[in-house]
Structure 1
């Protein structure tokens, strides 16, 4: 059998010929086994990645061509024996990677040759992952035992020590037994108990032991070496997500889900299954979690929340205006794989509490169960099942090619045709045939998904009365809880017909009649309905080009939700969008909203502006970029794409790079520097601690020194003073796009009574004797940002010495100052989330004092307070209850502050108890379970709990 003969019947003869010759050149002996090589025809056509791997590995092609390797599936036992054999020869990292790749080649060849169907392929690949994960976890436990001894625990009612175990719970497609070829593996780690230690000479607590095991397991599987990686490990489904512990005890995990578990976590745990380590540990935790996952009563909120999650996915895809259309995403796009999975999971959550037959982890098995009990009709079952298999087959074939985690159908016509032939489409233009069939299936899937998840509301289909009938429309809006229904009714008419004497096109009016009801629905679902409608009206007036904008809104409905999120969340971001209406194109192009904050990008953009702009346009361009980035970061936070930590880091990085650019301008405008003059600029307060928010000032301290003659001292001070004044002016100058930042210099030694710039000698004298305890707290996290290197080192050292040298009277002074602050700064009739008792300052003071007392030096670029709370919990500087109270209190208070600051971009922190509109808005936006009526009570109770911890923490405490 010749190469040409094998290639002739393949999906891509030219590619198969080239790749077959590549393998034969690398492994000449394979030419004697062309009958076996013919079995690789599909893989040769479909996976450049695996062909390159086989060509570069001695012996692997020969193994793949052995009799029986490709004809029959391999059992879990066979895989374990194969891996054990490799681990006897190679170190664990290399053995695991060899095992994964040779199994991938075998499975790919079997599926693409037609020997194995989809369900067999997914099952075998899942077993590969389970085998590797179990081996890695076992290896990690044994290595940890060699170092620390055996882990043992004692029960609450049984003091007899027992062995403690570690397990890996598979989630997502791994848990469902349907893992796709280049997927991350979603896992959670769990261990028996934290109550105990190891038995070895290097005894450690169980939490430390199992954290070490979890980190080792992840590293062994996840790290990229010269042999690649085994599997990308995704741990974000664990309790508290990325900020949570990497592994939890059974008790801690049960408590978390009982107390704080959310709807999406119930949905995720449907798939939870043992995938490695101690089986008894998994069985125990999953038994305890069953009542959380499957409730006894029908939980109809599941349908709405699953639909909301999918809407967020649609909205995210709508912001990606790249060469790849959302229609090409067969997983996340409309009618894709995710909608089939969500439909099935919604029915499982809704009815699985009463009917255990629905609790299958596999999507296909669960779908069969739904049909068997009458929840899904036979036609719907057939449509969903056939489409699921069709789309998962396509997904595998897309991923085989380059071993990349992608679900996008290739745009290149030749690649699309090759994919189509691998899918079984023949004849002329197979790619076109495949796309038509895919579109047909996805349209049907979306119809079924909508049938199960969409609320049937006539209001969402059309306006209930002509918009000209303002009273009828206002009555309707009032029923949808609009606070100013008449104003919003008039704004709707304005949106359709434009201002007086304007002539809107029939095209734009028809478009508005189509998307207008959805706009109202999105507004009604937001925290501030009227502001959404009025925001749209103002934005349309500023944007111009009504036909083009309305076409965008009509054809890309998730954009309506995106804009609604801005208008309902922030007056300042709304003003930014109206001031720069064309910024929406930047937000919809190249997925900028999907990109995390990036200090390198900020540096590059400010540098570009300095390089290409005329002097008089630099500041406006600085502020335009700052405004756009504030809007982008705000959107990421509003849309749930970024956690608060990213927002704080991003805003701090943005301020730092703005400041660095302003310094460059300022230096160029000054006279020559006096001989021997040195300067340093210190970031303090929230800027130093990387906790900036919308509207935050830059807290700065300017210091100088001179190495020349004493007579030059004053000229040095004057020159540095001019530099700082110029920086302050540049940062605060009002332009067309607003101003940059207000600079606050009050934290300098001696405060406002001192000169703007202070000599190093004066600062050293002040911090060694006259500085107060509050300044020690204020300078926690302070760091130099700019200036001369040697002076910066001396200043950083001086600040560190000051912060880490508390006096015995500090605690008493801090408590007295904190009480004075709450008496003098808090007005009657308001809840002050910052200065009030139990406010943010209480949490920050505790964390700042812990940093001082424990000599904790943060080496990460994460925001200070959240990092310190995490470290306090890890090192047990606070007991578990205190740490939990502070963490949850800080989260709520920061959520309220974020809402208020994002709205006005001002340092607002007082909530008047009489301001029912603000309280209503906060209750809707912060999304506590307390509801509007009880929101203020919930906030006060949380602050009372924080104050109790503050009092307990500082009671009887002394420095050192």
Structure 2
């Protein structure tokens, strides 16, 4: 590189060459000899190191320990260059060289100790196979520990690091590819395991009674190991001839434990790495060692998909290699049938969640986005995708049965399962991330996958990768670019090739056969892959702009549908909505340009039928999915004004007016459902919004009915009466669900001078017209107006005057009617009359002195009879959300009994809402806070389940679904993972069981 420009001081010149502290560097150079500061070749070698200061410091320590090394390095510039390259990256290997200066010789050219072609270079326990003809072998490690040394573990560690030093030098000098380096590291680990087994055999009695094979798993098995990592293994044993199996397994277990200890124990020379046998059958709770037959029995009967995914990497690395090969051959037959197993899709989804959850839970604060292994766009993203595609397609295509990631990715590309350009880009990303991983771990020989945020560390990484102009900045930019590229792997690897199976696209893309495309869709959760392919073909076929945009959108959306509870329903709904909107210009452009809209739409369509049905009748409402602000609850006053304006516009056309109002309601139901499924509102808010929306709808329908009846009056005269609508039941409690009827009562009051008969006829006509208008056939969800809670039920008058209600309640009303009136709330019509009605019933529902003991007994009897008689035939009482044990009725009746007893004296209890009543009871000391918490938890969960059933099925239901698929969809809508339906049921049983215990004490006991 030359000496560069002249500086006034040597320290300044050294700073210009890349030393962080020029003055310190000058002192260290002087310590190497008087001529060192002016040795331009030495300065060149130091300046090209990733960290010149670290390289110089380590060189200074080495020469202090071994003064004669300076002459050797001056005599062999190549040796010095290799040494300083390693020293500039790895403080740990420099420490090893300082402790063992003789290992400097391992860094020389051909013929030096440890170099290819030197003594002991004929292939280790794992074999070099494919690492390149120049890859070193490590048979000398097992031989070294068999030479009778007093401290064999120290000998193993020194020998291991000496060979690691040689391999690292080849790596940093660019003399070995990534594949050669990772294969060399795996072979070195295999040799260390063989040496550890030799140590174990020497120290274990009866070691000859068992054949023991060590199976490399993970990166060790795939020969793609990194510098410092847990080495994953499985131990397989067979008794020696004539030896009893139980005894042989005990000996094998002692040997396996000794192997693990020999590698992980810390000695004066440190440790190697942890040996992890957690991938064995039953994991850490299973036997450490099994026979081959025992392994096969487990895999055939109990193994999960992730275990077969792990077995993709299995390779014999130490011990009895004949037994090891028999093991790999036997399990290999099972691995490639895994995708045909029941539960494969669920297992795949669980694996994906486990990877992402592991990344979140194991990352320290601020480190998640700097994780190159588990973070977004990290190594695990690529590895997982490649392995899944191997499992899906390797069943019928043996070319894909490769252990290592890069060869497997190449095979997927060659077979047409991944587009060539995509495979190339992912291989580049993977190679870059692995090189960064190696540089991170070389520094201290510590297991890390976190990119540092310190500028000096970033600079060392950049220079280690050959970046010189702005090493830290260039490294960060390149890393982020590759991470973004890798993060798109689900589009690139899984979904884009599916389009080629059904559409005419450029030949440079992957070409899946229809069978392979169907297999991939099935593996990703599509229950009807052939149907999905037909939808894809319909959406992307042709040369129109619309088809071109769909070809851009679908690879992403197919992935989002796969993540949704029901991928098939999601894709079908998307096709139907796309067909409805046809060539509408804004629709596809919105989805293409606004990722959040497309992702939210995919989730909603794939969750259930309710939202899909609403969108199919108003597909233009897709526009509201643009942001959480668009899904925010609209004020009831604004909706009431909009509804009133719609009625006003249509004048005498009552049916048209109510149709417009029902369309408004449909839009707001959609807004609410989308906000609900997106987690923007909770179940109490859902109930309030749906109840307010029902109020607005009833008021608008009442206005239209009043207009219609008025128009039939002689001369268009005013009606002879005033009318109010009183909300009851869940509507009165502002606790409506998506499928709730509108329970109401009608009250009217004749105007002064009007005939009571004419007033009653007019009021009845208005009430019937309101019900007729809201019951007209329409594409909108119906709002059934139910007036059966009125006095005398269906046998009683539909509408009564205030005086008639007063007379009835004073003379005939029963205890249950007083309890029902706890929910009474004015919701539409004449507000003065509505307030008068509420004032009329307050003494009945909030009796002075509280409800009588006789009334309490009657209420309890009624509750017991309801539980016995009204529960549907065959329904499980533990899983019925309304009438079952600990369900809605239990909680609501308990709250209402507290109100009947105490609301007259405690005004805070005078509310129509269940949870507000319970909270008020706690504040007034009438209910224990712990009891309130259990009741509220059960009420919320039961209400959420009822809502979820409607959202999923498109029709109401009160019981936890018994069909597994439907129960799974409901569980997913509630936020449970794909395999969480049993957890969902268990949670509901537990929550309602605790609530029922509270009900038994508070409702049934005095």
TM-score (normalizing by structure 1): 0.51
| 2:819 equivalent in structure 1 | 777
Q: Are 2:724 and 2:826, in contact at CA under 8 Å, matched by a contact in 1?
A: yes
| 1:467 equivalent in structure 2 | 502
Indicate whether 1:909 and 2:958 are aligned.
yes
User: Which string of whole-angstrom CA distances, capped at 9 and with x for unpartnered residues, describes residues 535-561 of structure 1?
Assistant: 111111111117764444333332221
Tell me, what secondary structure is at the counterpart of 1:680? strand
Q: Are 1:593 and 1:635, in contact at CA under 8 Å, matched by a contact in 2?
A: no
Aligned mate of 1:533, from 571, 592, 605? 571
Residue correspondences, number: 560
Indicate whether 1:612 and 2:654 are aligned.
no
Provide the C-alpha distance between the structure 2 equivalents of 1:383 and 1:639, rounded to a whole number of angstroms: 47
| 2:756 equivalent in structure 1 | 713
| 1:581 equivalent in structure 2 | 619
User: Which string of whole-angstrom CA distances, capped at 9 and with x for unpartnered residues, describes residues 680-731 of structure 1?
Assistant: 321111111111221322111112344767x932222112111211211222
Q: Indicate how the Cα distance of structure 1 residues 565 and 380 shifts in structure 2: closer, same or farther if over 3 A, else same.
A: farther
What's the offset of the Cα at 1:594?
3.9
Aligned mate of 2:529, from 482, 485, 507? 485
Structure number, greater radius of gyration: 2
Tell me, what secondary structure is at the counterpart of 1:682? strand
Q: Indicate how the Cα distance of structure 1 residues 934 and 759 shifts in structure 2: closer, same or farther if over 3 A, else same.
A: same
Aligned mate of 1:942, from 980, 991, 994? 991
Aligned mate of 1:836, from 884, 890, 914? 884
What's the offset of the Cα at 1:792?
2.9
1:254-653 matched pairs, under 5 angstroms: 367-368=453-454, 458-459=493-494, 462-463=497-498, 466-467=501-502, 469-497=513-541, 504-545=542-583, 549-585=587-623, 587-588=625-626, 593-613=630-650, 615=653, 617-653=656-692
Q: Are 1:651 and 1:692, in contact at CA under 8 Å, matched by a contact in 2?
A: yes
Provide the C-alpha distance between the structure 2 equivalents of 1:849 and 1:820, rounded to a whole number of angstroms: 17
| 2:189 equivalent in structure 1 | none
1:161-172 matched pairs, under 5 angstroms: none
Provide the C-alpha distance between the structure 2 equivalents of 1:889 and 1:373, rounded to a whole number of angstroms: 57
Tell me, what secondary structure is at the counterpart of 1:779? helix
Q: Indicate how the Cα distance of structure 1 residues 581 and 464 shifts in structure 2: closer, same or farther if over 3 A, else same.
A: closer
What's the offset of the Cα at 1:268?
14
Aligned mate of 1:900, from 949, 969, 972? 949
Q: Indicate how the Cα distance of structure 1 residues 591 and 907 shifts in structure 2: closer, same or farther if over 3 A, else same.
A: closer
Provide the C-alpha distance between the structure 2 equivalents of 1:632 and 1:618, rounded to a whole number of angstroms: 21
Provide the C-alpha distance between the structure 1 equivalents of 2:616 and 2:929, rounded to a whole number of angstroms: 47
Provide the C-alpha distance between the structure 2 equivalents of 1:860 and 1:464, rounded to a whole number of angstroms: 61
Provide the C-alpha distance between the structure 1 equivalents of 2:471 and 2:939, rounded to a whole number of angstroms: 46
Q: Are 2:887 and 2:942, in contact at CA under 8 Å, matched by a contact in 1?
A: yes
Tell me, what secondary structure is at the counterpart of 2:724? strand
What's the offset of the Cα at 1:621?
1.6
Q: Are 1:471 and 1:486, in contact at CA under 8 Å, matched by a contact in 2?
A: no
User: Which string of whole-angstrom CA distances, capped at 9 and with x for unpartnered residues, describes residues 270-303 of structure 1?
Assistant: 69xxxxxxxxxxxxxxxxxxxxx99xx9996999
What's the offset of the Cα at 1:745?
0.3
Q: Indicate how the Cα distance of structure 1 residues 456 and 656 shifts in structure 2: closer, same or farther if over 3 A, else same.
A: closer
What's the offset of the Cα at 1:743?
0.5
Q: Are 2:723 and 2:746, in contact at CA under 8 Å, matched by a contact in 1?
A: yes
Indicate whether 1:728 and 2:768 are aligned.
no
Indicate whether 1:926 and 2:974 are aligned.
yes
Q: Are 2:728 and 2:823, in contact at CA under 8 Å, matched by a contact in 1?
A: yes
Provide the C-alpha distance between the structure 2 equivalents of 1:549 and 1:866, rounded to a whole number of angstroms: 42
Q: Indicate how the Cα distance of structure 1 residues 461 and 486 shifts in structure 2: closer, same or farther if over 3 A, else same.
A: closer
Q: Indicate how the Cα distance of structure 1 residues 712 and 263 shifts in structure 2: closer, same or farther if over 3 A, else same.
A: farther
What's the offset of the Cα at 1:891?
2.5
| 2:742 equivalent in structure 1 | 698
| 2:872 equivalent in structure 1 | 826
| 1:129 equivalent in structure 2 | none
| 2:434 equivalent in structure 1 | none
Q: Give the gaps of 5 or more residues in structure 2.
A: 1-356, 382-436, 442-447, 504-512
Provide the C-alpha distance between the structure 2 equivalents of 1:383 and 1:655, rounded to a whole number of angstroms: 67
What's the offset of the Cα at 1:767?
2.3
Q: Indicate how the Cα distance of structure 1 residues 443 and 303 shifts in structure 2: closer, same or farther if over 3 A, else same.
A: closer
Provide the C-alpha distance between the structure 2 equivalents of 1:560 and 1:383, rounded to a whole number of angstroms: 41
Provide the C-alpha distance between the structure 1 equivalents of 2:760 and 2:729, rounded to a whole number of angstroms: 24
TM-score (normalizing by structure 2): 0.49
User: Which string of whole-angstrom CA distances, capped at 9 and with x for unpartnered residues, describes residues 868-905 of structure 1?
Assistant: 34434444433233222222222221221111122355
Provide the C-alpha distance between the structure 2 equivalents of 1:841 and 1:529, rounded to a whole number of angstroms: 35
Q: Could you say which structure has the greater relative contact order, defined with CA pairs below 8 angstroms and 6 or more residues apart? A: 1
Q: Are 2:909 and 2:917, in contact at CA under 8 Å, matched by a contact in 1?
A: no
Tell me, what secondary structure is at the counterpart of 2:725? strand
What's the offset of the Cα at 1:655?
1.6
What's the offset of the Cα at 1:506?
4.9
Provide the C-alpha distance between the structure 2 equivalents of 1:380 and 1:599, rounded to a whole number of angstroms: 64
User: Which string of whole-angstrom CA distances, capped at 9 and with x for unpartnered residues, describes residues 136-180 of structure 1?
Assistant: xxxxxxxxxxxxxxxxxxxxxxxxxxxxxxxxxxxxxxxxxxxxx
Q: Are 1:371 and 1:378, in contact at CA under 8 Å, matched by a contact in 2?
A: no
| 2:808 equivalent in structure 1 | 766
Provide the C-alpha distance between the structure 1 equivalents of 2:462 and 2:603, rounded to a whole number of angstroms: 35
Q: Indicate how the Cα distance of structure 1 residues 896 and 875 shifts in structure 2: closer, same or farther if over 3 A, else same.
A: same
Tell me, what secondary structure is at the counterpart of 1:493? helix
Indicate whether 1:665 and 2:704 are aligned.
yes
Q: Are 2:614 and 2:666, in contact at CA under 8 Å, matched by a contact in 1?
A: yes
Provide the C-alpha distance between the structure 2 equivalents of 1:708 and 1:721, rounded to a whole number of angstroms: 18
Provide the C-alpha distance between the structure 1 equivalents of 2:918 and 2:900, rounded to a whole number of angstroms: 14
What's the offset of the Cα at 1:748?
0.7
Aligned mate of 2:844, from 802, 824, 829? 802
Q: Indicate how the Cα distance of structure 1 residues 490 and 377 shifts in structure 2: closer, same or farther if over 3 A, else same.
A: farther
| RMSD of Structure 2 on Structure 1 (CA) | 4.7
Provide the C-alpha distance between the structure 1 equivalents of 2:991 and 2:461, rounded to a whole number of angstroms: 43
User: Which string of whole-angstrom CA distances, capped at 9 and with x for unpartnered residues, describes residues 364-406 of structure 1?
Assistant: 9x9449968999999999999999xxxxxxxxxxxxxxxxxxx
User: Which string of whole-angstrom CA distances, capped at 9 and with x for unpartnered residues, describes residues 174-224 of structure 1?
Assistant: xxxxxxxxxxxxxxxxxxxxxxxxxxxxxxxxxxxxxxxxxxxxxxxxxxx
Provide the C-alpha distance between the structure 1 equivalents of 2:373 and 2:487, rounded to a whole number of angstroms: 14
| 2:917 equivalent in structure 1 | 868
Tell me, what secondary structure is at the counterpart of 2:931? helix
What's the offset of the Cα at 1:656?
1.3
Provide the C-alpha distance between the structure 2 equivalents of 1:883 and 1:382, rounded to a whole number of angstroms: 66
Q: Indicate how the Cα distance of structure 1 residues 784 and 376 shifts in structure 2: closer, same or farther if over 3 A, else same.
A: farther
What's the offset of the Cα at 1:642?
2.2
Tell me, what secondary structure is at the counterpart of 1:832? coil
Tell me, what secondary structure is at the counterpart of 2:827? strand
User: Which string of whole-angstrom CA distances, capped at 9 and with x for unpartnered residues, describes residues 82-103 of structure 1?
Assistant: xxxxxxxxxxxxxxxxxxxxxx
Q: Indicate how the Cα distance of structure 1 residues 924 and 546 shifts in structure 2: closer, same or farther if over 3 A, else same.
A: same
Q: Are 2:666 and 2:781, in contact at CA under 8 Å, matched by a contact in 1?
A: no
